[in-house]
Amino acid sequence: MIRTLMVDDEELARNALRRALAQAPDIEIVGEAVDGVDALEKIAELQPALVLLDIEMPGFNGFEVVQQLQGDPPAIIFVTAYDEYAVRAFEANAVDYLLKPVREERLDRALDRVRRGTQRRAADAQVALQVATEVNKARSGPLRRLAARRGKRIVIVPLRDIVRIEIEDKLVFAITATERLLLEKTIGELEALLAPSGFLRINRGELVNLESVRELMPWFSGTWRVKLANNEERDVSRDRAKQLKEAMGIE
């Protein structure tokens, strides 16, 4: 059975999709989500093999949900009422893009692609991640928000509120002016994801939001320190100091 999660903020759309999926005996609907944050929580909880994902939703849109996924993500089939979101790009790849109302033959074709086996599905999901990331960049520029955990809940954090990101005991945390939130990505993944949004790695275990940097001070043995908007001072390694100075416009 293919464990499947449906994500759509409209109940009528979920009902229609559920009826269509009832014709596929190997599809097991393990849950439903009503917005982008709910989708991330259900994906983490239920570990579906397939997600049928709307695009225009409250919280995170469908592309932003895909950006937040980590590790070995599920196969993604986008299901939307809008035809302007790179339909041709998705049609050319193994992960599909369906327009509402979903036609039975198109749904069958999309599900056949998912049935090709675990190895192929993993490759399909990676293609979907790459395509969705590029489409999202093209339509909305650098990432502006990030999913984080506050206890058992997933919350949306505007990047402007994050002062820095750090590793502690192999866990990664976002530090804001008021709280410390768990991130479910590696520091390397976050470095690549957030570079276009103005985050820079200053040492092995930390990224800083360049907008939060208030002072840059020489320190010992070629190292530097930065003072941040929350009045913290953080060490900058020698190999990162040049990048930081260049980013801050310092010769």
- Kindly list the domain boundaries of the chain, sorted by start residue: 2-140, 145-247
> What pLDDT is recorded for position 83?
72
Alpha-carbon distance of 119 to 108, in angstroms, equals 20
Strand ranges in 66-198 using DSSP code E only, listed in sequence order: 75-80, 97-99, 145-150, 153-158, 162-168, 171-176, 180-183
Class of 145-247 per CATH? mainly beta
Tokens representing 4 are 């499947």
Predicted local distance difference test score (pLDDT) of residue 24: 94
Cα 7 vs. chain centroid, distance in angstroms?
15
Averaged over 135-164, what is the pLDDT?
A: 82
Sheet with 145-150, strands from edge to edge, namely 153-158, 145-150, 180-183, 171-176, 162-168, 206-209, 199-203
pLDDT digits 0-9 by tens, 168-213: 998 999 999 999 999 989 999 899 889 999 999 999 999 999 999 9
Question: pLDDT band for position 93 (50/70/90)?
Answer: very low
Residues 36, 57: contact at Cβ < 8 Å?
Answer: yes
What is the per-residue pLDDT for 126? 54
Confidence of residue 68 (pLDDT cuts 50, 70, 90): confident
Using CA atoms, how far apart are residues 103 and 131, in angstroms rounded to an integer?
23
Distance of CA 131 to the CA centre of its chain: 13
> Fold match between 2-140 and 145-247?
no
Show the DSSP H helices in 47-103 as ranges. 62-68, 87-91
Residue 109 backbone dihedrals phi, psi, to 5 degrees:
-65, -40
CA neighbours closer than 13 Å in the CB half-sphere of residue 105? 0
Q: How far apart are CA 248 and CA 200, in angstroms?
A: 11
pLDDT at 104 over 50: yes
Q: Residue range 16-27: average pLDDT?
A: 95
Residue range 116-132: mean pLDDT, rounded: 52
User: Which fold would CATH assign to domain 2-140?
Assistant: Rossmann fold (3.40.50)
**Is 140's pLDDT higher than 60?**
no
Helix orientation angle between 11-21 and 104-114, rounded to the nearest 10 degrees: 70
* Range with lowest mean pLDDT among 23-32, 89-98, 229-238, 239-248: 89-98
- What pLDDT score does 91 carry? 41
